[in-house]
Amino acid sequence: MRLFVSEGVPGCLPVLAAAGRARGRAEVLISTVGPEDCVVPFLTRPKVPVLQLDSGNYLFSTSAICRYFFLLSGWEQDDLTNQWLEWEATELQPALSAALYYLVVQGKKGEDVLGSVRRALTHIDHSLSRQNCPFLAGETESLADIVLWGALYPLLQDPAYLPEELSALHSWFQTLSTQEPCQRAAETVLKQQGVLALRPYLQKQPQPSPPEGRAVTNEPEEEELATLSEEEIAMAVTAWEKGLESLPPLRPQQNPVLPVAGERNVLITSALPYVNNVPHLGNIIGCVLSADVFARYSRLRQWNTLYLCGTDEYGTATETKALEEGLTPQEICDKYHIIHADIYRWFNISFDIFGRTTTPQQTKITQDIFQRLLKRGFVLQDTVEQLRCEHCARFLADRFVEGVCPFCGYEEARGDQCDKCGKLINAVELKKPQCKVCRSCPVVQSTQHLFLDLPKLEKRLEEWLGRTLPGSDWTPNARFITLSWLRDGLKPRCITRDLKWGTPVPLEGFEDKVFYVWFDATIGYLSITANYTDQWERWWKNPEQVDLYQFMAKDNVPFHSLVFPCSALGAEDNYTLVSHLIATEYLNYEDGKFSKSRGVGVFGDMAQDTGIPADIWRFYLLYIRPEGQDSAFSWMDLLLKNNSELLNNLGNFINRAGMFVSKFFGGYVPEMVLTPDDQRLLAHVTLELQHYHQLLEKVRIRDALRSILTISRHGNQYIQVNEPWKRIKGSEADRQRAGTVTGLAVNIAALLSVMLQPYMPTVSATIQAQLQLPPPACSILLTNFLCTLPAGHQIGTVSPLFQKLENDQIESLRQRFGGGQAKTSPKPAVVETVTTARPQQIQALMDEVTKQGNIVRELKAQKADKNEVAAEVVKLLDLKKQLAVAEGKPPEAPKGKKKK
């Protein structure tokens, strides 16, 4: 067979991905031709892609070629896949062709591009969400996934055109985009030019017409709601009416928390932070904050939950820091353990235990595991070449060496791992090595060390992974990193180091060495638990009854997925191993990396001094959590999300709902007589609540946050449509309607307060206090929306939840944490001097201005209430002011009518 493809032709993306999946099933010769080459002799116009079969026949439609490759792979056709293919051809392709034409040929941006395809994207997102499956036709990838991915990739590979609120679509797209066949297809067709590679092809296509006569800039209607069945509506109403009586009794508090037979026992760890530094925002979101959200959610589900962490205190990094500060390693550990604990306390991290690794229990458990491995023949002894600093008269452990990475050329690679490419390094492989203490060039000498015989344990590891990975919630990057190590073949791993500060090696001849920190650091989880309770083995030697969730950044994956499991499997002591390994990508700072030495970025101890509450930091970090790909902290984006999502959306709705109860009904929840529209709203809220549960059960933390904001938007829309402030002044029927709307709205606010608890615990508690939510309803979150504030319930005093962040406040903080700019005077003399924001931030503000402008125009066209229009105009003017500042322009003076 011969497959003809052409660079810059979008239809070639899915066929190349499908061909990659069929590799090994048939021989396929891939030929690159020009888009004008006539490959099929009987066609009147040039056409690619084309598959020439061994029989001499041709296939020349994208879906037919993809279908052929899938059939070769043993795929069986099904009706749902065929339906998706029909929809792709009739609905998606026309909308997508228009979007790509506007973007590439006409140079349009933002909603001018997204508007034509948003409805189709929403349809895919809702379909994925409702069936709760990772792929379009079920649990496994099908022909429909590859065809739709190939169609969408040129547009959605730019994150600006992958709406964040479409969380299911986002996850589906990222899963497919990280697969090797899809990556190779994108490289072949787009040649690292992105969507611009399609320009020559698109310029030859006819200019599309806006679908159904709608303008390209059309902002879609309010949140598009899924279609509901009568059964779904009836079930939602039944659950609502049962109210508080549906809540189960609260689990009694345990101290210590221990597994309970017959219950779901959830053990949660976050990667132990090195004690020698202050964590920055990326460290916080990558480990402790992500784990905290899941721990809080687990407790809301009444699962028996233990969440632990602690400082990783042994190793080279501590000795290095002690030398820098002129302290002993123990003094360094004592100092920084307190700093870490204070930071996490301020961020409201709900550890059950926050311990340390410099304890007798750590020594006891580590040495026991080592002795068991040694006894079973899984420890090797070997002579290794190691760097020795003659000036310092010592062998240099890996963290005492820096040099040029032999793999990627990064000039500040450590002696154990490169921070840039992530590859593990043997220190002697570094180019231009330097001793970190004295900066002299070390020499290579021989020394004896101990190794964990990973090749001997590889089969056990593979069998364990084969049982664990299917059906688990390991993140795609954790799976990829682990399987790539196995694909390359495991090698013996050195587990000792020439240091004084560490767990002693209990073996004759090795008294001057300690265990390598990444052999014993992961054992720290066990020793920290042992310091919490002498019954620690009920958690850590109980794999049948305990679900272990481990949170970390991706650079820590091999030690949790390979090194510790091999150690535990080799020790043969029934250890609990990780069930769900949750790894984030990296969080960057503005356009670069966090750097304490250069004063770039916000570190945990500094966040407290910004005047921004901890819950706002939590919200924003979770909103941009690097799931699936790296993300970046941006001051301008923080301002935008605070002012739009928290202040104008969530805070606005909850405050209005509570104020209507106080102002119109004397502080008592009014009677509610639900109409069919109200019942549909109950069902929609229930559906979104269940989606929230589905996402958090899969540890898709960022995506689940979008469900909270979506329900809030539904609530705001419900209030706007029903106008209780007007109806309360009308007839008896109008006043009753105002009561129903107010009562339902305040119950939605109560639900949001509980859903919000894992993300913003202080704000959640504030809402619950204002609404005087009954205690059982504060501590349990079911999968149905209940009436927890019945008629006659008295609420408390309602007050605003959030404060607006101002441009000058944020610009001052951006300067303060920007490195070189931090040294400038905090009060510049020339107020008019402004700094332009990044292009992505400017584009985001432009999109917000366009969106708000459409809202104002629609209200004016509908001849809406003047006060309502005025409020939206104020928002529009504020957004325009933010945009002017971001672009480096002086804000426009307010326009007024001239006096005659």
Tell whether 34 and 156 lie within a shared domain.
Answer: yes
Q: How far apart are CA 187 and CA 192, in angstroms?
A: 6
Over the stretch 180-239, which tens digit does the pLDDT of each residue have? Answer: 889 889 988 987 788 888 888 887 777 776 544 333 332 333 444 567 789 989 999 999
Q: Which of 160, 176, 203 is the last residue of a domain?
A: 203
Tell whether 741 and 857 lie within a shared domain.
Answer: no
Tell whether 39 and 176 lie within a shared domain.
Answer: yes
- Residue 416 included in any domain: no
Q: Write the DSSP assignment of 234-292 as a string of letters.
A: HHHHHHHHHGGGGSPPPPPP-SS----TTS-EEEEEEPPPBTTS--BHHHIIIIIIHHH
Over the stretch 44-67, which tens digit does the pLDDT of each residue have? Answer: 778 889 998 888 888 888 988 988
CA 678 to chain centre: 33
Of 216-230, 355-369, 437-451, the range with the highest mean pLDDT is 355-369
Model confidence at 667: pLDDT above 90: yes
Structurally, how many domains does the chain consist of?
3
Over the stretch 746-803, which tens digit does the pLDDT of each residue have? Answer: 999 999 999 999 999 999 999 999 999 999 999 999 999 999 999 999 999 999 999 9
Six-digit token pair at 608? 């407290």
- Residue 285 included in any domain: no
Using DSSP's 3-state secondary structure scheme, residue 781 falls into coil
Using DSSP's 3-state secondary structure scheme, residue 298 falls into helix
Tell whether 137 and 197 lie within a shared domain.
Answer: yes
Tell whether 768 and 852 lie within a shared domain.
Answer: no
Q: Which of 203, 231, 257 is the last residue of a domain?
A: 203
Other beta carbons less than 10 A from residue 317's beta carbon: 21
Tell whether 852 and 739 lie within a shared domain.
Answer: no
Of 410, 409, 417, 413, nearest to 434 (Cα)? Answer: 413
Any residues with CB less than 8 A from the CB of 421 and at least 6 apart, and which? 405, 407, 408, 410
Domain extent at residue 790: 654-794
- Which residue type sits at 339? I
Asked if residue 628 lies in contact with residue 162, where contact means CB atoms within 8 angstroms, the answer is no
Of 88-92, 295-299, 593-597, 602-606, the range with the highest mean pLDDT is 295-299
24: left (phi over 0), alpha (psi -120 to 50) or beta: left
- Residue 143 included in any domain: yes
Q: How far apart are CA 778 and CA 765, in angstroms?
A: 8
Calculate mean pLDDT across residues 422-433: 87
In this structure, is the dihedral angle defined by the CA atoms of residues 609, 611, 613 and 619, taken in order, positive or negative?
negative
Tell whether 64 and 180 lie within a shared domain.
Answer: yes
Asked if residue 49 lies in contact with residue 11, where contact means CB atoms within 8 angstroms, the answer is yes
Q: Write the DSSP assignment of 552-593 as a string of letters.
A: EEGGGHHIIIIIHHHHHHHHTS-----SEEEEE-PEEETTB-
Q: Which of 203, 218, 252 is the last residue of a domain?
A: 203
Six-digit token pair at 676? 């069919």
Q: How far apart are CA 115 and CA 161, in angstroms?
A: 10
- Residue 52 included in any domain: yes
Tell whether 170 and 46 lie within a shared domain.
Answer: yes
- Residue 112 included in any domain: yes
Q: What φ, ψ does residue 864 adopt, rounded to 5°?
A: -70, 170
Six-digit token pair at 900? 């005659």
Q: What is the CATH number of the domain that holds 872?
A: 1.10.287
Over the stretch 226-260, which tens digit does the pLDDT of each residue have? Answer: 677 899 899 999 999 999 998 999 888 889 999 99
Of the candidate ranges 413-417, 828-832, 859-863, the one whose mean pLDDT is the lowest: 828-832
Tell whether 137 and 62 lie within a shared domain.
Answer: yes
Q: What angle do CA 859, 862, 867 make, to 5 degrees?
A: 50
Tell whether 739 and 865 lie within a shared domain.
Answer: no
Six-digit token pair at 878? 């504020």
Tell whether 749 and 881 lie within a shared domain.
Answer: no
Any residues with CB less than 8 A from the CB of 244 and at least 6 apart, and which? 774, 776, 777, 786, 787, 788, 790
